[in-house]
Amino acid sequence: MANPERLLAQLADGEYYSGEHLGALLGVSRAAVWKQVKRLQNLGAEILSVKGKGYCIAGGLDLLDADLIRKHLQEVEICKKVLVNLQLQLDSTNQYLIRKSVAGESVHRQVCLAESQSAGRGRRGRQWHSPFANNIYLSMGWRIQEGVNTVGGLSLAVGLIVRNVIAELGIAELSLKWPNDLQFEEKKVGGVLIEISGEATGACDLVIGLGLNVKMPRSLAQEIDQAWTDLQSVTQSMLPSRSKIASQIIVSLTQLLAHYESRGFAAYVQPWEKACAQIGEKVVLQSGQKQITGIMRGISHNGAIKLEVAGRIEEFVGGEISLRGV
């Protein structure tokens, strides 16, 4: 049986390889190669099969490299205990870690990455489009002791540190949209979804999920029901590899989480507001069935949005803002 990861790694350089050549490289028959090609195609890998030339991925692929990510993490003291798991496909990287947590396994400091998700989850029950080997789908498990009240604002802080990583890598200056969207010129580039496994009031596992559009295939444009873009489209420079971006995000995330329970969100309020594009703008907050129109004045120490409504500042914890209809 050919190993699909090895076959994919071989084809990632964008060259043509005959079935025979691939079979010899992987120590399997041509039929076994063909079977794995089909399997990879079913996951969404665009492998061409051309008579007389063989198999090829036109333009090549920037695959995630788990060994490279692990090596990078080993160089940072605080990340030495972080475990990295990379899969070709999962239903959802968040769900994968939640399943483990529910089964009683420790997910603390565990990172799960997938090249694609068949049931990627967004906030408010939305689907997160997760095509193969183009973006970043990352989840990290973290055990907290004192209940979710001690980690108020965490999803905003995660958005902020991801924004900072993207800026430090020289890719782009993304902005933040409350509560935890990463945007470029009002188009969504990424989002954060934190889920909890266990008792919300006591010790429990957080699963912090991040989806980041790196190089979204244009063919998905019609399927996504909100304005979006990707890092490839907004950068002025050469994109670093997805492994490099993911590694830096994991380092920053670990640093954030290691101190968050004791330090909280307070130190992130100002930098978050500075990176937010809607401060001072008229927005509509959709919170449950309610729609509240007001001017966004900032965020509170626990991540609630501050809206000026009829001359008074009010705070709202949940919901989603839009500029639509204002």
**Annotated active-site positions, please?**
123, 188, 324
**Residue 126 contacts ligand BTN per CB under 6 A:** yes
**With respect to ligand BTN, which residue has the nearer C-beta, 209 or 264?**
209
DSSP state of 208: E
Closest distance to ligand BTN from the beta carbon of 130 (Å): 6
Q: Which of 17, 55, 132, 137 binds ligand BTN (CB under 6 A)?
A: 137
Q: Which of 57, 174, 193, 304 binds ligand BTN (CB under 6 A)?
A: 193
Q: Which of 141, 159, 179, 211 binds ligand BTN (CB under 6 A)?
A: 211
145: Cβ–Cβ under 8 A, 6 or more apart, which residues? 202, 203, 261
**Residue 134 contacts ligand BTN per CB under 6 A:** no
Number of residues counted as binding ligand BTN (CB under 6 A): 20
> Which residue type sits at 42?
N
**Residue 118 contacts ligand BTN per CB under 6 A:** no
- For the record, the structure tokens of 183 come out as 């945007």
241: Cβ–Cβ under 8 A, 6 or more apart, which residues? 62, 65, 68
**Residue 139 contacts ligand BTN per CB under 6 A:** yes
**With respect to ligand BTN, which residue has the nearer C-beta, 57 or 208?**
208
- The long-range contacts involving 307-313, CB below 8 angstroms and separated by at least 24 positions, are 307/283
Q: Are 176 and 277 in contact (CB under 8 A)?
A: yes
Round to whole Å and give the CA distance between 204 and 108.
10
**Residue 197 contacts ligand BTN per CB under 6 A:** no
Q: Which of 209, 294, 303, 319 binds ligand BTN (CB under 6 A)?
A: 209
Closest distance to ligand BTN from the beta carbon of 193 (Å): 4
Closest distance to ligand BTN from the beta carbon of 158 (Å): 10
Round to whole Å and give the CA distance between 222 and 81.
41
**Residue 129 contacts ligand BTN per CB under 6 A:** no
Q: Among 86-94, 140-148, 168-176, 294-302, which window interacts with ligand BTN (CB under 6 A)?
A: 86-94
**With respect to ligand BTN, which residue has the nearer C-beta, 140 or 304?**
140
- For the record, the structure tokens of 250 come out as 């994991």
Q: Are 98 and 195 in contact (CB under 8 A)?
A: yes
**With respect to ligand BTN, which residue has the nearer C-beta, 11 or 112?**
112
Q: Which of 36, 93, 110, 254 binds ligand BTN (CB under 6 A)?
A: 93
Round to whole Å and give the CA distance between 30 and 51.
14
**With respect to ligand BTN, which residue has the nearer C-beta, 153 or 191?**
191
**With respect to ligand BTN, which residue has the nearer C-beta, 25 or 220?**
220
Inter-CA distances, 279 with 275, 299, 321, Å: 9, 9, 12
Round to whole Å and give the CA distance between 268 and 270.
6
Strand locations in the chain (E): 47-50, 54-57, 83-90, 110-117, 136-144, 175-177, 181-184, 187-198, 204-212, 282-287, 290-299, 305-309, 312-316, 320-322
Q: Among 71-79, 80-88, 92-100, 265-273, which window interacts with ligand BTN (CB under 6 A)?
A: 92-100
DSSP state of 215: S
**With respect to ligand BTN, which residue has the nearer C-beta, 36 or 92?**
92
Closest distance to ligand BTN from the beta carbon of 253 (Å): 12
- Can you give the binding site for ligand BTN, defined by CB under 6 A? 92-94, 117, 120-123, 126, 128, 137-139, 181, 191-193, 209-211
